[in-house]
Amino acid sequence: MWSDNETDVDFLGCSHLVKATTSVIANDSLLPATIGIFGDWGSGKSSLMKMVELELREDKAVHVLSFNGWLFEGFEDAKSALMATILEELTAERTLTDKAKELVPKLFRRINWMRALGLAAKGALALATGGLSGGMTAIAKSFDADAASKLLEEEDLRRGIREFRADFAKLLVELELKALVVMIDDLDRCMPDTIIETLEAIKLFLFVPGSAFVIGADERLVKYAVRRRFPELPGERSEVGRDYLEKLIQFPLRVPALGRPEMETYINLLFAKNGGLTPGQFNDLRAAAIERCEAGALHEVRLNHGIAEEVLGGTVPTTLAERLDLARRIAPLLAAGLSGNPRQCKRFLNTFMMRIAMAKTRQVELKERVLAKLMLLEYFRPESFKKLAEAQAEQEGKPNELRAIELPSKPLEEESPASVPPSEDERSERTRRPAPRPGVPTKASEAPSDGASALPVWLADPWIMNEWRQLEPPLAQEDLRPYFFFSRDILGSLGGSVQRMSPRAQEILAELLSASEAVRRNALGKAAGLASADSAGVFEALAERARQEDDLGTTGSAFVRLCDWTEARPDLFGQFVTFLTGLPDARLPVSIVPRLQTMGGEDGDRRAQVKAVISKWAQGTAGPLKNAAKTRLSKL
């Protein structure tokens, strides 16, 4: 398995991002500077910052201080806490001249003086004193006019800020520094007030010649903090956050998501790290991948079996070779489903390795490609995964439903438990070129809606039929019972889906469950920006809550929220239909009949699924749902 912490070892091909950051700091004419390293949770911001720090420390004339944003979270006055901490760290690690020994106590006294006066905690004063550019004066005007006026009359306070900056600049000269670089990570995990106070401390007090500040954060959360801190500002809320951030961050650098070739390279490097190689062999592979990247191989896999074979002199360990082949198969789905997020990819692989390890303690050997294929279904179509778990449990590990979609060239009645199973090559050929047979469609769009010969609802999903089904190996002849035995931590567990979600997805889930309609609408507006795995995680969390509800039809129910979420993410429509068919008819509100038809829209696959489900309800036990379904069915 692999640590989930940041690293200074480059697995992502970040050399160009590192160079872009260090080149700003190395250019005296660009200092002072603030550099923002922006990216989603798990995108690799912290690792990139460690790589930047490692390179900068090679120059002894550059002093690098590294802080986590949370360090200042517990302080009432985050500004003065940051300033004092920088001074303490700086003077503890450098030899002080006589002049520097005079400056340091003065700086500490000024910090204590400003803390006592409450200067550092007053956003209005901070902005009104001219510490920020003229375009920010509108923020100062948003505060109480009398209070701002009294503050502005305090000439001593304004002079105190100017003198602090002047003395701080002199201190850097006395320490003979080419540059002071302060790296602040995880700022986006702090409360809004801490975020703003930290940024203001940098701009007002510490932004002096020879200084550079590298800030790692999710820019969306920083913009949110600005809107929370300054709710009185006129204009669009989104523009307020954007404008504020643009004035504080001079050089924004965004960490891009991994594409398919990059995801495959990343997975291959992770496997190579734990693939039985010597440290030297692994470093050679990593160097080869980086060299190909720097040589312009932007859209190619930079490490695969062929490259590994060449670098290692023709011999690739068997286990590593198998896992490099596995990476080739699963990387496209992981890149798309996880939106190229390295941390979520690593968590997927860690779960994968944990299950293999758990099985070995029970003397069970799990086939890695089978496990990986099942886990993809678990991550991206959790409702179908649960249905498959039920089916395999009822059919001794080999559900007929999988045979129907993977071995369509031979009618099910011609196959019996006593028959000789086809070879892997035969099964692969059937999967690659499935021959159609009556009643068993080869595409979701061909699924009939007229009875028992149709695909089960939980399989009639375009992603399952067109992506997952095609992935090697076929599962129809595999005994799936051991694989689901070691997946019991997920099955039926609300915690499993929530734990896998990114912080942004968890925030959206909380907003969807809010009592405020405006908050819920805002959450639905963010749906399109979520990765497929996160979106499926939100869906599953709502579905689990809905299963526990007594009345699904109430306005504030999780069931209604689930309907809203599915409308916002149409790719989950098949999962929603699967969820519905797993509930007793008597529990469903009559309102679901017209709403389901509306949710189906004009898409052919979804309309076929709608008709199949409404037909099922129309044939159910007597009741309001049956009557509503029969009426609606006559109009379809």
214 domain-assigned? yes
pLDDT for position 494: 46
Domain closes at, from 202, 229, 254: 254
Residue 377 structural domain: 350-413+442-484
pLDDT tens profile 141-157: 443 444 444 444 455 66
Cβ atoms of 510 and 542 within 8 Å: the answer is no
Residues 407 and 291 in one domain: no
pLDDT for position 50: 92
Domain closes at, from 231, 254, 277: 254
Total domains in the chain come to 3
What pLDDT band is residue 315 in, cutting at 50, 70 and 90? Answer: confident
128 domain-assigned? yes
635 domain-assigned? no
pLDDT tens profile 487-513: 876 555 444 566 678 888 888 999 999
Domain closes at, from 302, 337, 372: 337
Residue 34 main-chain phi, psi, to 5 deg = -120, 125
What pLDDT band is residue 554 in, cutting at 50, 70 and 90? Answer: confident
Residues 290 and 316 in one domain: yes
The enclosing domain of 249 has a CATH number of 3.40.50
Residues 328 and 391 in one domain: no
Higher pLDDT, 94 or 537: 537
Residue 37 main-chain phi, psi, to 5 deg = -100, 105
Least confident range from 138-152, 348-362, 552-566: namely 138-152
Residues 212 and 238 in one domain: yes
pLDDT tens profile 58-91: 988 899 988 887 776 666 567 778 888 888 888 8
Least confident range from 157-171, 234-248, 584-598, 610-624: namely 234-248
pLDDT for position 75: 60
242 domain-assigned? yes
Higher pLDDT, 251 or 245: 251
CA–CA separation, 394 vs 474, rounded Å? 20
CA–CA separation, 225 vs 189, rounded Å? 10
What pLDDT band is residue 195 in, cutting at 50, 70 and 90? Answer: confident
208 domain-assigned? yes
Residues 188 and 76 in one domain: yes
Give yes or no for residue 366 having a pLDDT over 90: yes
Give yes or no for residue 329 having a pLDDT over 70: yes
The CB-side HSE value for 629 (13 A sphere, CA atoms) comes to 23
Which DSSP string do the residues of 426-487 spell out, in sequence order?
Answer: HHHHHHHSPPPBTTB-SSGGG---SSTTSPPTTT--HHIIIIITTSSSP-TTS--HHHHHTT
Residues 476 and 390 in one domain: yes
228 domain-assigned? yes
DSSP H helices, 118-210, are 123-128, 137-141, 145-152, 155-174, 192-201
Tokens of residue 582, six digits: 């797993």
pLDDT for position 118: 57
Cβ atoms of 261 and 302 within 8 Å: the answer is yes
Residues 275 and 295 in one domain: yes
For residue 420, give the DSSP letter: P
480 domain-assigned? yes
Residues 210 and 78 in one domain: yes
pLDDT tens profile 447-494: 433 333 457 888 888 899 989 998 989 999 999 999 999 887 655 544
Angle at 339 (CA atoms; ends 567, 511), nearest 5 degrees: 45
Q: Is 531 helix (H, G, I), strand (E, B) or coil?
A: coil
Residues 211 and 115 in one domain: yes
CA–CA separation, 440 vs 612, rounded Å? 15
Residues 243 and 267 in one domain: no
What pLDDT band is residue 197 in, cutting at 50, 70 and 90? Answer: confident
Report the percent of the chain where pLDDT is more than 90.
33
Residues 228 and 139 in one domain: yes
Residues 198 and 309 in one domain: no
Tokens of residue 259, six digits: 């594409």
pLDDT for position 139: 37
pLDDT for position 592: 93
